[in-house]
Structure 1
Amino acid sequence: MALFYTVDTLQRPLLKARAEGQSIGFVPTMGALHSGHLSLVRKALEENDLVVVSIFVNPTQFDKEDDLQKYPAQLEEDVKLIEEIASDILVFAPTAKEVYPQKMEAKQYNFEGLEKVMEGEFRTGHFDGVGTVVERLFEICIPHRAYFGEKDFQQLQIIRKLVDLQGIDIDIVGCPIEREDHGLARSSRNERLSPTAREKAGMIYAILKAARDQFDQKNAEELNQWVIQQFQEEESLELEYFEIADAHTLTPLMKRQTGQKYRAFIAVYTEGVRLIDNIALN
């Protein structure tokens, strides 16, 4: 396994691989890797000749400085986990100056409304930051395919829109959510929870599954009220939002349309940690 800190040194083997007709798979991460990240790496290995994993905590996508400071950093442990999967993976662990050599600020994008709902409503500027770093990492890592988890489904749809709007020739691959034994979607943030809170947070997925089971019997407003009631009965979990939306446009559901796919999205706080999840409804 090779660890790179600079753009120039990383691009040498990548340009060589492209010149030889090899396919490059890319898994962007912010480190603190868990089995969800590693499943993306394995998927990339299955489908490509060469795989790059970036480990970079991107400052421009955090709307709260405190959240950025608390984000776990464990490069040595992350590298060991990657090395256990395959010895020929390229790991890119740059500084912010290396990624943003001119000025560290987010570009402004028009994602045609995808960025204005749910996470966009509660995290000002978040998706501009995401778009900025992903576009930059695509420039650096020059992949044929890039892999993202469906836990951040809104982000996944925005990345798909990004490559479309910017004319970037990369195949965006969405991968299923990895879950802990009690159902909680795997996230680096989970490590900040106490064992009790972590287990209790499994209720989030249980409620999503119950909402899915009721989707044919209740309309969106009825389901929303039912979900609110469930969280009112559990003091340790604070519901920020629950939304049912079109899976493609992310437009909140007003009236169901035949043939359309819908997903339920949720954000919940526990012990000061913000957790998100989603589920396909049909």
Structure 2
Amino acid sequence: MKTIRDIHTLHDVLQGFKQDGETVALVPTMGGLHKGHMSLVQLASEYAERVVTSVFVNPTQFGPSEDFEDYPRTFETDRRKLSRGGVDILFAPSHEEVYPFGADNMTLVSVPGLSTILCGEHRPGHFDGVTSIVNRLFNTIAPDVAVFGQKDYQQLAIIRRMVADLHMPIKILASPTYREKTGLALSSRNRYLTDDERERANELYATLCDCRDQYPGSGQALADLEQSCIERLVRAGFKPEYFSVRQSGDLQLPNQGSRYLVVLAAVRLGETRLIDNVLFEVNGL
């Protein structure tokens, strides 16, 4: 595995791949890698001859009071995991390499509508930072395939919209959420949880699954179910930001004809923000 930190060298190596007729998959990450990330790498290797993984803690997707300074930075451990996982290139650029004119003066890529609901309502500007860095990585690497985790479902939907709207010739793959045996979705931020909080955190996934199983259709019955799920999480010690059933394609509110759905939630547990979701399909409503 080659570790590359500058775009010029990266382009030279990628050009060699393309001259040999090899396809390239990109797995963008912010590091702090766990088994969920490695499942993305595995999926990428099934769809392309060459795999590039980026490790870059992107400052533009963090709010002023969020955990940018404390976000896990475990580069050497990450590098060993990626090498064992068969990655061809680890791209680990500096902030100056990614934002040559500074992050405050960057060209912004924004997906309206989808970026300001759900997580976007509680983290203003977050998704603009996400789409801007992902667009830069797409422009820099020009992958044939890019892989994202389903756990960050709203992010996945926004990136799919960006790719479609900008006519990018990139196939977006979603890798299923990797969970502990208890159901807790793996996240780099899980390391912030205390032992007691980690045990209680399992209730989030259980509540999502129960909402899926009890889905009554759209309207007041759904609003009542969502509210009961929020109250259940509060009793378990969470501070919910939202708990909502949406259409999985466009994240709009469901109607009686909606078939493909996703129930999403974001909560605070102690000092840790957790997100999760469950996809499901309904018939005959």
Q: The TM-score by the shorter chain falls in which range? A: over 0.9
Structure 2, unpaired ranges of 5+: none
Where does 1:85-164 land on structure 2 (aligned, <5 Å)?
Answer: 85-86=85-86, 89-105=88-104, 107-164=107-164
Equivalent residues of 2:204, 2:233 under 8 A apart: no
Report the Cα distance in structure 2 between the residues aligned to 1:107 and 1:224, rounded to whole angstroms: 38
TM-score by length of 2: 0.93
Given the alignment of the two structures, is residue 239 of structure 1 paired with residue 240 of structure 2, yes or no?
A: yes
Give aligned pairs, total.
278
State the partner residue of 1:17. 17
- Report SS of the residue matched to 1:281: strand
Equivalent residues of 2:240, 2:267 under 8 A apart: yes
The superposition leaves residues 142-182 of structure 1 with CA deviations (integer Å, 9 ceiling, x where unpaired) of 21000000101110011111112222111111110001121
Report the Cα distance in structure 1 between the residues aligned to 2:23 and 2:217, rounded to whole angstroms: 47
Report the Cα distance in structure 1 between the residues aligned to 2:32 and 2:232, rounded to whole angstroms: 31
State the partner residue of 2:280. 281
- Report SS of the residue matched to 1:115: helix
Report the Cα distance in structure 2 between the residues aligned to 1:50 and 1:127, rounded to whole angstroms: 28
User: For the structure 1 residues 242 and 137, does the alpha-carbon distance in structure 2 shift closer, same or farther, using more than 3 Å as the test?
Assistant: same
Equivalent residues of 2:243, 2:264 under 8 A apart: yes
Q: Which amino acid aligns with 2:262?
A: R
Report the Cα distance in structure 2 between the residues aligned to 1:252 and 1:137, rounded to whole angstroms: 31
User: For the structure 1 residues 191 and 79, does the alpha-carbon distance in structure 2 shift closer, same or farther, using more than 3 Å as the test?
Assistant: same
Q: Which amino acid aligns with 1:94?
A: P
- Report SS of the residue matched to 1:201: helix
State the partner residue of 1:270. 269
How far apart are 1:65 and its partner, in Å? 4.5
The superposition leaves residues 170-212 of structure 1 with CA deviations (integer Å, 9 ceiling, x where unpaired) of 1111110001121111100001111221121011000011111
Equivalent residues of 1:59, 1:68 under 8 A apart: yes
User: For the structure 1 residues 74 and 110, does the alpha-carbon distance in structure 2 shift closer, same or farther, using more than 3 Å as the test?
Assistant: closer
Report the Cα distance in structure 2 between the residues aligned to 1:97 and 1:238, rounded to whole angstroms: 37
Equivalent residues of 1:245, 1:252 under 8 A apart: yes
The superposition leaves residues 207-252 of structure 1 with CA deviations (integer Å, 9 ceiling, x where unpaired) of 01111110147832121121022123222x2111101111111112
Where does 1:1-282 land on structure 2 (aligned, <5 Å)?
Answer: 1-86=1-86, 89-105=88-104, 107-216=107-216, 219-235=221-237, 237-253=238-254, 255-258=255-258, 260-282=259-281
User: For the structure 1 residues 206 and 36, does the alpha-carbon distance in structure 2 shift closer, same or farther, using more than 3 Å as the test?
Assistant: same
The superposition leaves residues 90-142 of structure 1 with CA deviations (integer Å, 9 ceiling, x where unpaired) of 10111111111123145444524111210111110111101100000111112
TM-score by length of 1: 0.94
